[in-house]
Amino acid sequence: MSKRAENREKNTQKMLEGALIVFENKSLESAKMTDIAEAAGIGVASLYRYFQTKADIALQVGILYFEEVNQQLKKILEKKLTGREKIELMMREYQNKDETSIRFFKFVEELDHYIEQVEQKPERIKAYEKVIYEQLPNFEEALKEGIEDGSISESINLKYTLDTINHTLMSLKQKFSTRGHVVSIDTEEAHDGELELLISIFLSYLKNGL
């Protein structure tokens, strides 16, 4: 790597770290490029040379978040477990309640809504979509392994199972991460119980099929 490319990479990382700090404390709607530049310790003109819009830098932050998720899923795939056991561990990632996990789900929901409001969507959205879909092959591989080793029923529909697991668990996790306890039934106990019930239903389906 040339010195120039190395410096550009370091500067980009510095800006993304600044953006992470800002997005943890402000909504995407209220955050400003000047806030990000200040958090990164650079001039706002320098920030604009790397990222033309706030949407550009927000999408890149989203890419970093999903890359970390995908790495975690790949580590699960490498374990010496049945396919069904691997799927269970992947689903239980949604039960993670550490600060990083909560920030991830909150940010992703905000980013989805924010990008919908941007009239001219940045080209970078293609890279963001790509990294989201890179989760699916990990789940699919575990499902196929389970069918081969007999821990998952051959009667399941791979596509619908894959989409339903991810869409359902993601939606529930985002609800509790972003909207909190709006009404009395939205308690932490309810959050834990609903996720556990969903995972149990999916595991039963994977084992027995319909």
11-67: per-residue pLDDT in tens?
A: 898 899 999 889 888 888 899 999 999 999 999 999 999 998 898 899 999 998 899
- CB count within 10 Å of CB 39 equals 20
Assess whether pLDDT exceeds 60 at residue 180.
no
Give 37 or 110, the one with higher predicted confidence.
37
pLDDT of residue 183: 41
pLDDT of residue 86: 97
Distance of CA 52 to the CA centre of its chain: 24
pLDDT value, residue 179: 55
Task: Note every long-range contact of 139-143, with CB atoms under 8 Å and residues 24 or more positions apart, other chains counting.
Answer: 139/73, 139/87, 139/90, 139/165, 139/166, 141/77, 142/76, 142/77, 142/83, 142/86, 142/87, 142/90, 143/83, 143/87, 143/206
pLDDT higher than 70, residue 202: yes
Q: What number of CA atoms fall less than 13 Å from residue 166's CA on the CB side?
A: 17
- Residues in the chain, how many? 210
User: Can you give the pLDDT at residue 44?
Assistant: 93
When comparing pLDDT for 124 and 29, which is higher?
29
Give the largest CA-CA distance in the chain.
Answer: 59
Residue with more model confidence, 6 or 51: 51
Residue 198 has pLDDT above 60, yes or no: yes
Residue 190 has pLDDT above 90, yes or no: no
Whole-number pLDDT of residue 141: 96
pLDDT of residue 121: 62
Rounded distance between C-alpha atoms, residue 158 and residue 25, angstroms: 39
User: What's the distance, CA 56 to chain centroid?
Assistant: 17
Summarize pLDDT for 128-178 with one digit per residue, the tens. Answer: 889 988 999 999 999 999 999 999 999 999 989 999 998 898 888 877 766
Asked if the model's pLDDT at residue 187 lies above 70, the reply is: no
pLDDT at 96 over 90: no
